[in-house]
Amino acid sequence: MKFKILSVLLLCYTSSFAQSQIHSHNDYQQTVPFWEAYAHGATSIETDVFLKDGKLFVAHEEQSIQPNKTLEQLYLYPIMQVFEYHVMEAREIQWMIDIKSEAKTTLQAIIKALKPYQSNFYPNNPNGVKLIISGNRPDFKNYNDYPNHIFFDWQSDEIPTDLSKIAMLSLDFANYSVWNGKGKIVTRENIALKEIIEKAKNRRLPIRFWNNPDSKSGWYALDQLGVDYIGTDQPAKAEAYFKNLKRNTVQIPCGVTRYQPTYQSDNANKPIKNVVLIIGDGMGQAQISSATIFCPDMILNQFKSIGFSKTNSANDYTTDSAAGGTAIAMGEKTNNRAVGVDVDYKAQPNLVEILSKEGFKTAILTTDEITGATPADFYAHVRDRGMKDEIAQDLIQSDLDFFMGGDRRFFRENGFNEALEEKGFTVVDTITNLSQSANKIAFFAGENSLPYIREGRGDLLPKATSFALDYLKDDSFFMMIEGAQIDNFGHLNDLKGVAEETIDLDHTIQKAIQFADENGETLVIVTADHETGGLTLPHGQLHDHELEGDFSTHDHTGVMVPVFAYGPSSSTFQGVYENNEIFHKILQALKIQNQ
């Protein structure tokens, strides 16, 4: 029964590869020979074989032979089980037997051992395993003397004319390159590798190398070169890498004409009338870099005042959005899941409350639910981010003049819209219904959270930002804008989604910078509450605007995140500091004392 269960898994592993396939080198050294490589997508499996005392043993050196590790037990019997449980049609597979003992006698022993299993091998079975003899082999001129299910490995760049019995070209990587998998292959070696690969392909002969770098960088380089079978001692890791390679290698159009800031008010020593705080949820340095390859002149690349924020919460090295946003909103670190309260769960004033008392109009825009952790940090005070009803009540009672986010269904079904209207809000659900004459505006832009860019959200956030800036421009104002779904795609380990949402946020930042240049009295701050996904960017093609990403987790990380500032007193935000210092730096720039 365990093989039936395994067969279901095998069928779902074969659809996400790049052009190269996995060759399980020295497969017998795996914890479970054959099955481990096969279950993890290998289409080529290599076995070293010795003939000793009339028996075929699987081993790398003769002195390491173990009596129970025979060719039949480790390979012939499992291959028979694959056919017995009818999973072979899922993909073609080849089995390379590397003969370590004398060629002719060992090969004859192999042919004899295969007789009971011949129906499992190609071409006797058109869907069978293709057997390739490597290592010590008989003379080429004698290849045709062997049965039709015996093929051979060729190990010279002088490829013969007759390939009827040759199934693979195997070469020593070290003969073409000294590259160890770090950095890049030098040009002359790259040319040599391309030439031999092209030569093999012109002869329709699959090619593999041995002694190649066995790492993600090595696999990527060989795949890019067009190597047919990539040798690895780590088939499980290679399978995971190739499975995600296509998904996490992306190309995205930039889509917007970039704006060049004037810098006339940047870091000017003059009063600040307005503050726009923009939070990319989960947006670390790699997320920004991932967007930059598609939009090289992103507005974020134009900032001159840059710092770093340490995002740790009060009770954990790795923060969540609730604690990360609260530190920025109220100037104190707190425990994970806490919203607008300190470590003793006592409410403390946030920027919206403090600045409203100073005569500022206030606004929040988010692509999340409006009761989501980050927006809630700027108006609510609850012990736990999951207290949605209490957060909604705090929103109704808040000092906000404008908000946009999701939660349309939640507010409608719980009768909260009527309470908002009693508080003077005009409740709208489309951007076309926004009115500059409304006293206060509640804009529910999604039933739950807002759609992703890929689901058709379009330029809603940049447009809503432009409206809100115009709506509030006659007064001093504080505005918090959150690009929430960078975080969502970080959790999903979806590089394309991360880059799409980061580019959209950059379009939104551009609207704020344009306003700041026109206004001359507006400070714009861009940061993140934390990084999500442990994203790294190991490879890319600058000229093709193509990028490969690699995620180390589906959760948040504790790395520092950048802080960008533009406008009067922007240099206040340079340096490295705790995330709660952003709150104090905003008040410092505004010359407001927090009582």
Q: Residues 140, 43: one domain?
A: yes
pLDDT at 462 over 70: yes
Domain that holds residue 580: 274-391+476-590
pLDDT band of residue 18 (cuts 50, 70, 90) is very low
Alpha helices in 176-330 (DSSP H): 187-202, 216-225, 235-245, 285-292, 321-330
Question: And the tokens for 594?
Answer: 């927090």
* Cβ–Cβ under 8 Å, residues 287 and 490: yes
The closest of 191, 214, 220, 213 to 547, measured between CA atoms, is 220
DSSP states of 101-154: S-HHHHHHHHHHHHGGGGGGBTTTSTTSBEEEEEES---GGGGGGS-TTEEEEE
**Assigned domain for 521 exists:** yes
> Among positive and negative, which fits the CA dihedral 289, 293, 297, 298?
negative
Number of helices followed by number of strands (H, E) in the chain = 19, 24
The total domain count for the chain is: 2
Average pLDDT score over residue span 461-465 = 98
510 and 553 co-located in one domain: yes
Mean pLDDT rounded to a whole number for the chain: 93
Beta-bridge partner residues of 66: none
548 and 503 housed in the same domain = yes
CATH of the domain at 26: 3.20.20.190
Q: Are 374 and 286 part of one and the same domain?
A: yes
Average pLDDT over residues 184-212: 96
For 83-138, write each residue's pLDDT tens digit: 888 765 556 899 999 999 999 999 999 999 999 999 999 999 998 999 999 999 99
- Considering the domain architecture, whether residues 210 and 296 belong to the same structural domain is answered as no
Q: How far apart (Å, rounded) are the C-alpha atoms in residues 219 and 241?
A: 9
Q: Are strands 402-406 and 536-541 parallel, antiparallel or unpaired?
A: unpaired
How is residue 218 written in tokens? 């090595």
- DSSP-derived pairing of the beta strands 166-172 and 207-210: parallel
Least confident of 122-126, 185-189, 349-353, 516-520: 122-126
Q: How far apart are CA 336 and CA 323, in angstroms?
A: 5
Do 242 and 278 reside in the same domain of the chain? no
Residue 264 CB burial class (10 angstroms; 0-12, 13-18, ≥19): exposed
Alpha-carbon distance of 142 to 127, in angstroms, equals 26
Q: Above 70 in pLDDT, residue 21? A: yes
440-444 and 425-428: which strand pairing?
parallel
Is 130 among the domain residues? yes
Identify whether the C-beta of residue 410 lies closer than 8 Å to the C-beta of residue 388.
yes
In a domain, 514, yes or no: yes
Say if 454 falls within a structural domain: no
What was the pLDDT predicted at 15? 30
* Residue spans of alpha helices (H) in 215-308: 216-225, 235-245, 285-292
